[in-house]
Amino acid sequence: MALPLRLGVNIDHVATVRNARGGVVPDPVRAALLAASAGADGITAHLREDRRHITDADIARLVGQLAALDRAIPLNLEMAATEEMLGIALRHRPHAACIVPEKREERTTEGGLDVAGQHDVLAPMVRALREAGVRVSLFIEPSPEQIAAAVSLGAPVVELHTGRYADTEGEARAGELRRLSDAAALAAKNGIEVHAGHGLTFDNVQPIAAIPQVVELNIGHFLVGEAIFVGLYESVRRMKAEMAAAR
Ligand code: PXP
């Protein structure tokens, strides 16, 4: 029996639309509450260094309002490995923090974190977050080297980057799916909880949802885009149904 599979809804791009006009609507916190009512198991938000979508004030409101729900749902803060972000995470103590690579000029998170190459920067950060009771996850490429590095850092969770899987087709996609599956099995064998995300849609989510060791998917851009046509409630509800059908 596969473990239950959670959906973390990433609300960054609701803030992208809001910021296009610099006002207060659409409100990403309202989107988070609606996603929760549609079955989201968690909310994910990436506070980027340039604050291009989610802002510090959004994070403060999310922390307060998600905790106040009848069915409180966890916040997963995506953050770069910087002192500034560490300070913010330690102040708010979200349920989880996912450390991601971040480049100012990128459009979205391109590629995974080089855990192997950044051990000395990441080790004190992982330790500080763990000591504060924050569940640390590392966003990595599905490779044995990165899993081994995550093990040596004592990270309790890894999130496998599904971007290449989502961007390829045919044989290339099948090969990428095998890499994801093997990485998930290797991480779980080493006692690490496995999440996955990036570029997932109704059409490509099921093979990832079927990987038995994966217990959480974080999905944003597609769900917010689909919400334009069917509404956010329906977009989240259907994604949960697609995931459940694959399990
Ligand atoms: N997981 C991580 C670590 C991410 O950085 C992102 C993008 O912000 C996602 C999941 C969601 O990706 P997408 O918006 O393509 O669904």
92 touches 60 (CB < 8 A): yes
Q: Averaged in consecutive runs of 10 residues, what is the pLDDT profile of the chain (247 residues)?
A: 91 98 97 98 97 97 96 96 97 98 77 91 97 98 96 97 98 98 98 98 98 98 98 98 97
Distance (Å) from CA 130 to ligand 1 centroid: 22
Q: What is the pLDDT at residue 1?
A: 65
Ligand 1 atom index nearest CA of 46: 8
CA Rg, the chain, in Å? 17
Q: Per the residue annotation, which of 13, 159, 198, 226 is the catalytic one?
A: 198
Ligand 1 atom index nearest CA of 166: 15
Q: What is the pLDDT at residue 104?
A: 67
Q: Whose CA is closest to atom 12 on ligand 1?
A: 198
Q: Per the residue annotation, which of 46, 53, 95, 195 is the catalytic one?
A: 46
46 counts as catalytic: yes
Q: What is the pLDDT at residue 109?
A: 74
Cis peptide preceding 207, ω within 30 of 0: no
Q: What are the structure tokens assigned to 204, written together?
A: 């490509």
Distance (Å) from CA 198 to ligand 1 centroid: 4
**Torsion over CA: 161, 162, 165, 166 (sign):** negative
- The pTM assigned to this predicted structure is 0.97
195 counts as catalytic: no
State the Cα–Cα distance between residues 162 and 198, nearest whole angstrom: 5
Q: What is the pLDDT at residue 174?
A: 98
Q: What is the pLDDT at residue 2?
A: 77
95 counts as catalytic: no
Q: What is the pLDDT at residue 98?
A: 98
Q: At what angle do helices 28-37 and 12-21 cross, to 10 degrees?
A: 150
Ligand 1 atom index nearest CA of 10: 11
Ligand 1 atom index nearest CA of 221: 14
Q: How far is CA 27 from CA 30, 47, 102, 201, in A?
A: 5, 15, 24, 23
Q: Which residues line ligand 1 (CB under 6 A)?
A: 10, 12, 46, 78, 98, 100, 108-109, 139, 159, 197-200, 218-222
Backbone angles phi, psi at 5, to 5 degrees: -115, 125
